[in-house]
Amino acid sequence: MKEIEKGIIVFDNPYGGSNITTLTTSEGTLIIDSSLFPSKAAEVALYIKRLLKSEIVWITNTHYHPDHTFGNSGIKAQLLTSEKTEKYFSIMNRHYIDQVIEKEEALKEENINEAYLKMMHVSEVSDQENEEITKILDTLKPDDLEEGEELDV
């Protein structure tokens, strides 16, 4: 943890995934990228509440990758995100999330499935829709989209 300016703290993540950055104002605290782990995000929220006497009011993600967003489910706050990230969130399904958990052994302890799906407001879809979404997500790689390029779903 490092305070880089008054009210701006970076919680580094030595185990992989994004760092969590917080910006505390008189109105509350903004979390920027919640990391891969809901438990780490919840620890940061507890630190902010106990030591800085501030509530987490907002959370934003720089992009949709799980190492920046899965921690969202460990924090209760208003989600602020770009249209592009919101679009990715809207098509993430249980198959995609299960694939991420399978690749990251430590996530198996996090119970991310239900919490993440609920947090992202992912609704049930038909088998055909699920199949189409899965095909799209299976073909994506983190660097597939250039900045500003839209996901066509």
- How far is residue 77's CA from residue 122's CA, in Å, rounded to a whole number? 17
Domain boundaries, the chain: 2-139
- Please determine, for residue 55, whether its predicted confidence score (pLDDT) is greater than 70: yes
Give the model's pLDDT for residue 101: 78
CA distances from 105 to 30, 118, 129 (A): 29, 22, 28
Question: What tens digit of pLDDT does each residue of 72-81 get?
Answer: 888 888 888 8
> Which residues touch 41 (CB under 8 Å, ≥6 apart)?
20, 31, 34, 35, 71, 72, 73, 74, 75
Percent of the chain with pLDDT over 70: 69
Give the model's pLDDT for residue 145: 44
Task: Write down the architecture of domain 2-139 according to CATH.
Answer: 4-Layer Sandwich (3.60)
